[in-house]
Amino acid sequence: MILLNCPNCGPRNVQEFRFGGEHNPRPAAPLAVDNAEWTDYLFLKANKLGVQKEWWYHRAGCRLWFLAERHTQSNQVLKTYCWTARPNREGETCVE
């Protein structure tokens, strides 16, 4: 992978970005989770061989945290988009 498409800035050299790990939503009610759920959230990973939804940060650019869907073997990026708190009509997508 050489280029990554920032939803804000367009295609940029991947070295401008920092990888933020796989998408792992925080438990909806953090105070109500038991130890097993908390361990799962903190440490356990799907570590998917295939298309993975993941975080990226445009560190040397607009400093936007955004989501990408990338195949972890070929490193092909299928799409990148902004995160939104409320799901809109296209799921979590606001910009593609």
36 scored as a contact of another protein (CB under 8 A): yes
Pick one of 3, 9, 44, 78: the residue that binds another protein (CB under 8 A): 44
Q: Which region among 25-33, 41-49, 81-89 touches another protein (by CB under 8 A)?
A: 41-49
Contact (CB, 8 A) for 2 and 17: no
Q: How far is CA 72 from the centre of its chain?
A: 13
Kind and range of the H or E run holding 65: strand 65-71
Q: Which is nearer to another protein, 35 or 88 (CB)?
A: 35
Distances (CA, A) of 32 to 36, 39, 86: 12, 13, 22
Residues forming contacts to another protein in the complex (CB under 8 A) are: 1, 14-15, 18-19, 21-22, 35-36, 39-40, 42-47, 49, 54, 72-75
